[in-house]
């Protein structure tokens, strides 16, 4: 029908030809002189050839490799609205499969989301209005006018369906090609420890303070250490009972996405109670309502890669615990000890940033007595002595981010971690009496790498050196 309408517009000035369309057979009937029919057939062949090109179709299905379809649709709608005078409609499809719960873990004490605005990505924020009612259609047109451009997100196949003029489709496809690229990843290694106030200087950290003789809250960047080196020093302090390692988490996260680590337990806290015969003479059974709250060590980090090898991180770290000196184990109204750090820092890839300044007093009782004499009933108390120790513990957080831009970086880090674990197993296995180097049950197998034939191996090494030098 479109071709017939075009031909009729061209044949208005020529009364010797007639044109008709047959919808059932999708064919065109021509009438007129032979030269005029030949001219019409030539025009039809040109128009029909153009309509068969898939790239010029008014509807395109574009499959995404890295971006989420529901995140990129609002961006495309904004570009289409700016470059096209017509109305733009946006549709977010529904997901038929159950997705992973991406909500933020409850905070340690409040029971609500922790980290403030760290739990929502920029694209998700821009798409919050469209995602609030999945499966619905929102159009920028007034009334019931059909949109001239329709952009549909299909989450099940992670694709975008665009129905628009050819020029708009070409523009949107160019934008998608530039946005849909492999995102960079970051390896976040952390070490959370409590260290005695008198021993923290043994780590060799130059804090951001004028007088280092007295500890001052702040942060420091340690670019000459690795997490493993600092971990070895703190383990040495822990063996001497001068430090307490709380956690050594390690996680890989996409750029500008939040990594969450939560280690701890939930406790019951009484929120309200209804005693017997409350408010009248009824014989209702008394009851008490409880709420479950997290008492845990948590670490939330949102890294964002800046120009060069810089990394900007939003950090939310906390260590909440029950106060054993005040709260019995059977109490439903416990007292909590809270230690938290929320900050934004900038560090280069591979450097270690240290956050500190949270001090907490701890009391310890030690009973000393003379052998045998202290066990005599009655007079044994004369040979006993109780000592109360007061120590100040300082919470220190060591974080080392490392940018992973390519598959080569991913494999290199994985191989290093795997080999380190295997070497530790080999070291421990040598102490076993029945250890045999040929026994495969003691240690993990060696990590196998793909070996190329010799003619191609040198070329591959040269390519890797050129790409990752």
When pLDDT is cut at 50, 70 and 90, the band that residue 195 belongs to is: confident
Lowest mean pLDDT among 21-35, 102-116, 166-180, 414-428: 102-116
- Please state, in angstroms and rounded to a whole number, the distance separating the CA atoms of residues 454 and 387: 71
The average pLDDT across 346-364 equals 76
CB atoms within 10 A of CB 132: 9
The average pLDDT across 421-441 equals 66
Most confident of 223-227, 310-314, 317-321, 394-398: 310-314
The per-residue pLDDT for 105 is 44
The average pLDDT across 149-177 equals 89
Kind and range of the H or E run holding 428 = helix 407-429
Structure tokens at 227: 């997490």
The per-residue pLDDT for 338 is 81
CA angle, 438 as apex, 436 and 441 as ends, to 5°?
80
Angle between helix axes 454-468 and 407-429 (nearest 10 degrees) is: 110
- Is 128:284 a contact under the CB 8 Å cutoff? no
When pLDDT is cut at 50, 70 and 90, the band that residue 7 belongs to is: confident
Report domain extents, the chain.
1-47, 53-93+146-181, 187-271+288-405, 407-449
| pLDDT tens-digit series, residues 204-256 | 555 544 344 433 444 555 555 556 666 666 666 666 667 778 888 889 999 99
The per-residue pLDDT for 27 is 84
Checking if the pLDDT of 307 tops 60, the result is yes
What is the distance, to the nearest Å, from the Cα of residue 331 to the centroid of all Cα atoms in its chain? 37
CATH among 3.30.590.10, 3.30.1370.120, 3.40.50.1970, 1.10.8.60 for 53-93+146-181: 3.30.1370.120
The per-residue pLDDT for 230 is 65
**Residue 458 phi, psi dihedral angles, 5° rounding:** -65, -40
When pLDDT is cut at 50, 70 and 90, the band that residue 454 belongs to is: low
Checking if the pLDDT of 301 tops 90, the result is yes
- Is 305:326 a contact under the CB 8 Å cutoff? no
Q: Which residues pair with 311 in a beta bridge?
A: 305, 347
* Residue 40 burial class via C-beta count within 10 angstroms: exposed 0-12, middle 13-18, buried 19 and up: buried
> What is the edge-to-edge ordering of all strands in the sheet holding 59-63?
59-63, 159-163, 149-154, 88-92, 137-139
**Residue 130: C-alpha distances to residues 82, 144, 405 (Å):** 19, 19, 31
High-pLDDT (> 70) share of the chain, %: 59
The per-residue pLDDT for 99 is 41
- Taking only Cα atoms into account, the Rg of the chain, rounded to an integer number of angstroms, comes to 35
> β-strand 352-369 against 336-348: which pairing, if any?
unpaired
Residue 93: CA count within 13 A, CB half-sphere: 17
Structure tokens at 270: 């009484």
- pTM comes to 0.60
Structure tokens at 47: 């128009």
| pLDDT tens-digit series, residues 247-283 | 888 899 999 999 998 888 888 887 777 766 655 555 6
What would the DSSP string read from start to end of 14-54? -TT-EEEEETTTTEEEEES-HHHHHHHHHHHHHHHHHHT-G
For residue 361, what are the contacts with CB-CB under 8 A and spacing of at least 6? 390, 391, 392, 393
Kind and range of the H or E run holding 427 = helix 407-429
The per-residue pLDDT for 176 is 93
Mean pLDDT estimate for the chain: 72
């Amino acid at each position: 029908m479109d071709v017939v309408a075009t031909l009729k517009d061209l044949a208005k000035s020529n009364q010797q030809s007639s044109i008709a369309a047959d919808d059932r057979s999708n064919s065109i009937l021509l009438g007129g002189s032979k030269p005029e029919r030949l001219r019409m057939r030539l025009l039809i062949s040109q128009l029909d050839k153009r309509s068969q090109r898939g790239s010029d179709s008014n509807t395109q299905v574009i499959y995404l490799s890295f971006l989420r379809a529901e995140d990129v649709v609002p961006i495309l709608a904004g570009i289409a609205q700016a470059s096209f005078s017509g109305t733009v409609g946006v549709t977010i499809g529904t997901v038929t499969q159950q997705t992973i719960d991406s909500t933020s873990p409850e905070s340690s004490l409040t029971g609500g989301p922790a980290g403030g605005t760290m739990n929502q990505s920029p694209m998700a924020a821009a798409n919050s209005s469209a995602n609030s009612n999945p499966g619905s259609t929102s159009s920028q047109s007034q009334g019931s006018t059909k949109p001239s451009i329709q952009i549909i997100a299909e989450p099940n196949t992670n694709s975008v369906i665009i129905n628009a003029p050819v020029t708009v489709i070409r523009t949107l496809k160019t934008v998608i090609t530039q946005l849909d690229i492999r995102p960079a990843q970051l390896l976040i290694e952390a070490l959370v420890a409590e260290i005695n106030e008198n021993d923290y200087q043994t780590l060799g950290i130059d804090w951001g303070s004028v007088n280092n003789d007295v500890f001052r809250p702040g942060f420091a960047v340690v670019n000459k250490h690795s997490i493993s080196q600092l971990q070895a020093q703190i383990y040495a302090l822990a063996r001497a009972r001068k430090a307490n390692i709380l956690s050594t988490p390690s996680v890989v996260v996409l750029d500008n996405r939040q990594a969450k680590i939560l280690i701890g337990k939930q406790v019951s806290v009484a929120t309200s109670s209804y005693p017997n015969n409350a408010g009248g003479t009824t014989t209702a059974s008394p009851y008490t309502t409880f709420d479950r709250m997290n008492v845990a060590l948590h670490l939330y980090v949102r890294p964002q890669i800046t120009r060069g090898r810089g990394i900007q991180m939003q950090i939310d770290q906390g260590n909440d615990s029950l106060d054993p000196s005040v709260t019995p184990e059977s109490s439903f109204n416990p007292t909590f000890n809270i230690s938290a750090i929320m900050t934004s820092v900038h560090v280069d890839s591979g450097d270690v940033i240290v956050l500190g300044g949270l001090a907490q007093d701890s009391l310890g009782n030690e009973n000393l007595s003379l052998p045998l004499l202290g066990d005599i009933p009655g007079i044994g108390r004369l040979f006993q002595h109780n000592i109360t120790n007061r120590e100040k513990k300082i919470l220190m957080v060591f974080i080392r981010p490392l940018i992973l831009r390519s598959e080569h970086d991913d494999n290199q880090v994985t191989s290093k971690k795997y080999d380190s674990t295997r070497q530790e197993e080999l070291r421990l296995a040598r102490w076993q009496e029945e250890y045999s180097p040929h026994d495969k049950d003691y240690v993990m197998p060696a990590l196998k790498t793909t070996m190329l034939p010799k003619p191609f191996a040198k070329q591959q090494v040269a390519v890797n050196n050129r790409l990752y030098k």
